[in-house]
Structure 1
Amino acid sequence: MRTIVLMSTILLLAACRAGEDGAPEPQAAEPAGEEQAMAEASAPEEEAAETESEQPHADPLQSVLDAQPDEIQARFDARHPRETLEFFGIEPGMIVVEGLPGGGWYTRILLPYLGSEGELIAANYPLDMWPNFPFADEAFLENIRKWPEEFPQQTEGWCDGDCADVRTFWFGDMPAEVEGAADAVLFIRVLHNMAAFQNSGIDNYLDQAFADAHAALKPGGILGVVQHEAREDMPDDWADGSAGYLKQAFVIERAEAAGFELVDSSAINANPNDQPTTDEVVWRLPPSLSVPEDAENAEALRAQYESIGESNRMTLKFRKPGET
């Protein structure tokens, strides 16, 4: 039996390690006469060198990535944040909508990278979709209702200094002021649950999310999708999102139906080692490693899944038609 699991891991943001402050260099005796003149003549060059060393990092994205805590950097080889954000054309100062930020893995990177000239707009699953998850008891639902107010407060601990402002909305209830405001929308590993519930005939959650993304973007704005990818030869009723996987053709079809144009695709986040059977779900893989505790070979399964790595993922770049 396949179980839909939402794994939102809350990570603690470690403080960035500043450069070491060494002891002052021993000072030579004050030069006199010609030596003094030569020392004064060389001072502008020394001052220029010091000023240059104090300039902002020439590569702001790399500077942000280097400052991330170990827990975040541990997943760089599997999630390729630099390559992914560059592929989507994300730049400082942009207004970006991030779908289902969850525990904030990408949020922690985006906040300092977008900077105070930019803005992060977090979009969560529709509030009426959450009761469909089997783990969503009343206590959970009471807590998730507080998300619009609590998430911006939570992000305050994830970024210091030059950070993007944060606001929130539920898919299906997008504020009017968000319409046409965004430079980019990011759907990173968020579409499968909406597709699974939509395909069950509960509501059009997936189509609503694509419609909101289209409405939020400026003309010419970018929709970036990273999604667990099912092989095209897998059965459609397995690749409906309930196992975590969707087919690339299906995602493209739904995006184009919402008015988007496919610009490009990339193998940045592909993992050919991920070859699930119809009895397997995406959450068997890292970081979830969800294996039944009573399985006779639980340890061997975890080791096997750990060796596969994170899921095989499509990376698709769409554009909202129109002039920027």
Structure 2
Amino acid sequence: MKTWISIGLAAAALISTVPAQADDVLKAAIAGAQRTPAFMARDVWRHPYETLSFFGLRASDTVVELSPGGGWYTEILAPYLRERGRLILAGDDPASPQAYYQRSAARLKQKLQAQPAVYDKVQLTVFDAGAGKLAYAPAGAADLVLTFRNVHNWMSHGEARTQAVFQSVFDSLKPGGVFGVVEHRLPADRVQDEKAASGYVQQAYVVRMAERVGFKLAASSEINANPRDTADHEGGVWSLPPSYGLKDKDRARYEAIGESDRMTLKFVKP
């Protein structure tokens, strides 16, 4: 598989997103029986092997996953890292005053406890951008921090809180460590809502926030691009699958579009 990758913001070169030596352990984790069938059905849109390979994931890494949600990527990362690496899940706060986050935290904990043979070595910590709870990993401990479609959630708390999250990621990484970001992409010619109410974010915004705290953009990829997504839906990104936020309204049209157009960015801590 080939994709366009940009180095910095200017130069571009056509290179393969799959490493020269295939990672059979990662492929086995992606094909594993621990994965939820409904999650696996979305591989065609989320490209887990290509995405994680692009970020440079290794089985011996210490990895932080920010806001793992229902554990889509957790189901892959946990078995992959179990023997040689370390997975820290920076999840929702069970002590949050908001019932939504309490329920989310409880569901994730239950998921981990249900399959100890897969998740027994996972470390569960707390991440709450709105409350400023960002001590989810020791300083300089991580080789790789990953976040999938979460920047718009941070933006809902304002720019200062969003910047604080980027700073916390930078601080948690070792020198040379990687911050991998996948996010719904707002076209560059649109006006960016500062709270990202539609769920879409301009790529330049993410790059700017990362560079402010010291990250360097190492590469960007179109692995998760979808040119059919116009990013101007009545209900925002949640009108698209798998959410179908508008239910049956225009469902066939949204199904034909598929999941959102997404940026895939690889930042490095110098």
Q: TM-score, normalised by structure 2?
A: 0.81
The separation in 2 between residues aligned to 1:193 and 1:235, in whole angstroms, is: 18
> How many residue pairs are counted as aligned between the two chains?
244
Residue of structure 2 in register with 1:182 after alignment = 142
Quote how far apart the aligned CAs of 1:236 are: 2.2
1:127 is displaced (CA, Å) by 8.4
For each residue in 1:98-146, what CA deviation from the matched residue of structure 2 results, as whole angstroms up to 9, or x when unmatched? Answer: 0110100000110001123222112246789x77xxxx5xx446546xx
Q: Report what 1:63 is aligned to.
A: 28
Question: What is the aligned partner in structure 1 of residue 126 from structure 2?
Answer: 169
Percent pairwise identity: 40
Any conservation in 2 of the 1:112–1:159 contact (CA below 8 Å)? no
Residue 115 (1) aligns with residue 82 (2): yes
- Residue 176 to residue 250, structure 1, CA distance change in 2 (3 Å): closer
Does 115-124 or 211-220 show the bigger shift?
115-124
Q: Does 1:90 align with 2:57?
A: yes
Structure 1 residues 143, 71: CA separation in 2 closer, same or farther (over 3 Å shift)? closer
Question: Of residues 224, 243, 249 in structure 2, which corresponds to 1:288?
Answer: 243
CA distance in 2, matches of 1:176, 1:275: 35
Per-residue deviation at 1:161? 5.3
SS of 2:162's partner is: helix
Match of 2:165 in 1: 209
Q: Which residue of 2 is the match for residue 230 of structure 1?
A: 186
Q: Which residue of 2 aligns with 1:196?
A: 156
What CA distance in whole angstroms lies between the structure 2 residues aligned with 1:231 and 1:243? 12
The aligned runs of 1:1-324 (5 Å cut-off) are 59-67=24-32, 68-124=35-91, 136=98, 139-140=99-100, 143=103, 147=105, 151-158=108-115, 160=117, 164-171=121-128, 172-175=132-135, 178-199=138-159, 204-237=160-193, 240-277=195-232, 279-291=234-246, 298-299=248-249, 301-321=250-270
| Structure 1 position 276, deviation (Å) | 2.6
Mean CA deviation greater in 278-287 or 251-260: 278-287
Q: Distance in 1 between matches of 2:27 and 2:187?
A: 33
Q: Is the 8 A contact 2:67 2:127 kept in 1?
A: no
For 2:152, the aligned partner's letter is H
Alignment partners' CA distance in 1, 2:23 and 2:127: 37
Q: What residue ranges of structure 1 are gaps of 5+ in the alignment?
A: 1-56
Cα distance in 1 between the residues matched to 2:82 and 2:91: 22
Tell me if the contact between 2:94 and 2:103 (Cα under 8 Å) persists in the aligned partners: no
What code does the residue aligned with 1:245 have?
Y
**1:51-108 deviation per Cα after TM superposition (whole angstroms, max 9, x unaligned):** xxxxxx9710111111134222100000000000000011112111101101000001
User: SS at the partner of 1:97?
Assistant: strand
**Residue 178 of structure 2: SS of its match in structure 1?**
strand
> 5+ unaligned residues in a row in structure 2: which ranges?
1-21
**Is the Cα contact below 8 Å between 1:225 and 1:317 reproduced in 2?**
yes
Q: 1:234 to 1:96 in 2, by over 3 A?
A: same
- Aligned-partner SS, 1:214: helix
Q: Decide whether the 8 Å contact of 2:148 with 2:181 is kept in 1.
A: yes
Instruction: Pick the structure with greater CA Rg.
Output: 1
Provide the C-alpha distance between the structure 1 equivalents of 2:107 and 2:37, rounded to a whole number of angstroms: 25
For 1:253 and 1:58, how far apart are their aligned partners in 2? 32
Q: Is the 8 A contact 2:126 2:136 kept in 1?
A: no
Give the partner amino acid of 1:214: F
Q: What letter matches 1:217 in structure 2?
A: L
